[in-house]
Amino acid sequence: MSVFKQIFAVTGMNLKSVPQRLGSSFVIVIGMAGVVGVLVAIGAMVQALGDTLLSTGSENRAIVLRNGATSEISSILSPQAIATIMNAPGIARTPEGDAAVTTDMIIAVNLEKKDGGLGAVAVRGVSPQAFFVRPEIELVEGRMFEPGLHELIVGRNAQLEHEGLEVGDRIELRNSVWTIVGVFKSGNSHESGFLADVDTLISAYQRTQVSSATVLLTSPGAFDELEAAITADPTLDVQVLREPEYYRGQSEEVQAILSIVTTVVAGIMALGALLAALNSMYTAVSTRAVEIATLRAIGFGSAGVVVSVLVETMLLAVVGALIGAAAAWLLFGGNTVSMGNQVSTLVFQVRMTPSLLGIGIVLACAVGFVGGLPPAIRASRLPAATALRAV
């Protein structure tokens, strides 16, 4: 009998005997289901977080911050700096002929969450040109806020996450009451907060400076011209970033933390699954010692025995991976998740992707291979005398 025929024959016998060893097989399946379920769930969260932040940036926009500032929250720009920025080259114009620049101020308000506790929500004051600069912002309910009045529009995600954010509801900002007059969606991080008139917000907080300036470029290639003009001005102490670059930097720290958590948790669970696979397959080999030794005695080679044990372990691991991925998909797919700090809460939707499932299956195969190889080698070395002693 050829080597391949031996492999198929022994592997078939092995798989047919799995129902007789449901207990040990179940341990491998459940272990891998837990590993892959955690990996897929956290991986989907990391991916969704990055996608939400990166989708906020556009290659056709640039953001100006104070030099050294790592975010809009830690940045301030004076009215003199804003006036200079608006006259810089490379900036598009609105239909009215104004510079396509929105000067934004960001503050935070703590609001009650629907699942209990308080969460910080960002209130972004914007210029009238903001909706030309950011055309992705779309009013879906109510009306736009009026400059000079204490009015807000709320993002759809913020509305889903927090209590009392319907049109007509009111919130308190710096001892003044503001009315929600509309709801917007943008498909990015802005949707997790409020928008208001920047001059009204500055007045309410008794400030004179804004946080940042976001400009719409005449074309993506105009960025270099804009950056050169602004950074060459000795009166300005600012930095100019492409929007995707800025939001990529904002997402990297959180993604790094979540990636570490994923690696540690999945690593520990994978080690447990590996040990379970080793133990289960060693037990299986021991209970089938006579059968395996008999096969060796009648001329079956070691290759068929090794492959049969590896195939069994890896198939059980893949079954566990599919169960874990399916559980993660059902429990977390499409769910709304919020992550925040003292300044703002980012609300985003978890999306499962085939690539995450592929990673889970590859991991399962790797664990199954490593967990099955030592028992497979042991099985292939069982002496024929083992079978004869059992007669």
Tens of pLDDT, residues 223-262: 999 999 998 888 889 999 999 888 887 767 666 766 676 6
Do 88 and 43 share a structural domain? no
The pLDDT of residue 241: 93
Which residues lie below 8 Å from residue 338, measured CB to CB, with a gap of 6+? 113, 119, 161, 192, 345, 346, 347, 348
Of 17-31, 92-106, 175-189, 198-212, the least confident: 17-31
> CA of 69: how far to CAs of 37, 65, 388, in Å?
39, 6, 79
Model confidence band, residue 20 (pLDDT cutoffs 50, 70, 90): low
Do 302 and 177 share a structural domain? no
Mean pLDDT of 351-360: 80
Are 234 and 18 contacting, i.e. CB atoms less than 8 angstroms apart? no
Choose among 105, 141, 140, 112: nearest CA to 126. Answer: 105
Collapsing DSSP to helix, strand or coil, 137 comes out as coil
Collapsing DSSP to helix, strand or coil, 208 comes out as coil
The pLDDT of residue 353: 77
Are 197 and 148 contacting, i.e. CB atoms less than 8 angstroms apart? yes
Residue type at 378 in one-letter notation: R
Q: Which residue has the higher pLDDT, 335 or 128?
A: 128
Which class for 279: exposed (0-12), middle (13-18), buried (19 or more C-beta within 10 A)?
Answer: middle
Strands 176-185 and 151-155: parallel
Give me 176's structure tokens: 């003044």
What's the half-sphere exposure (Cβ side, CA atoms, 13 Å) at 285? 26
Q: How is residue 91 annotated by DSSP?
A: B
Do 94 and 148 share a structural domain? yes
Residue 244 lies in a domain: no
Residue 243 lies in a domain: no
Q: Which residue has the higher pLDDT, 289 or 316?
A: 316
Cβ neighbours, 10 Å, residue 23: 9
Q: Which residue has the higher pLDDT, 329 or 387?
A: 329
- The answer, yes or no, to whether residue 352 has pLDDT greater than 90, is no
Question: What digits encode the pLDDT tens for the residues 39-70?
Answer: 788 777 777 766 666 667 788 999 999 998 88
The pLDDT of residue 385: 57
Collapsing DSSP to helix, strand or coil, 100 comes out as coil
The pLDDT of residue 200: 95
Residue type at 291 in one-letter notation: E
Per DSSP, the residues of 338-362 read EEE-SS-EEEEE----HHHHHHHHH
Which residue, 236, 267, 284, sits at the end of a domain?
A: 236
C-alpha–C-alpha distance, residues 182 and 172, integer Å: 17
Choose among 56, 335, 332: nearest CA to 193. Answer: 56
The pLDDT of residue 126: 96
C-alpha–C-alpha distance, residues 67 and 72, integer Å: 11
Give the number of domains in the chain.
2
Do 326 and 355 share a structural domain? yes
The pLDDT of residue 304: 67
- The answer, yes or no, to whether residue 390 has pLDDT greater than 60, is no
Which residue, 184, 213, 236, sits at the end of a domain?
A: 236
The pLDDT of residue 202: 94
Which residue, 178, 210, 236, sits at the end of a domain?
A: 236
Q: What is the dihedral of CA 254, 255, 261, 263, to 10 degrees?
A: -160
Do 72 and 32 share a structural domain? no
Model confidence band, residue 148 (pLDDT cutoffs 50, 70, 90): very high
Do 226 and 259 share a structural domain? no
Of 158-162, 232-236, 281-285, the least confident: 281-285
C-alpha–C-alpha distance, residues 241 and 232, integer Å: 15
Residue 380 lies in a domain: yes
Model confidence band, residue 3 (pLDDT cutoffs 50, 70, 90): low
pTM attached to this predicted model: 0.67
Task: Give residue 276's domain range.
Answer: 3-54+250-389
What's the half-sphere exposure (Cβ side, CA atoms, 13 Å) at 223? 17
- The answer, yes or no, to whether residue 1 has pLDDT greater than 60, is no
Do 99 and 165 share a structural domain? yes
Mean pLDDT of 116-132: 90
Of 123-137, 183-197, 337-351, the least confident: 337-351
Model confidence band, residue 25 (pLDDT cutoffs 50, 70, 90): confident
Residue 329 lies in a domain: yes
The pLDDT of residue 391: 44
The pLDDT of residue 193: 92
Residue 96 lies in a domain: yes
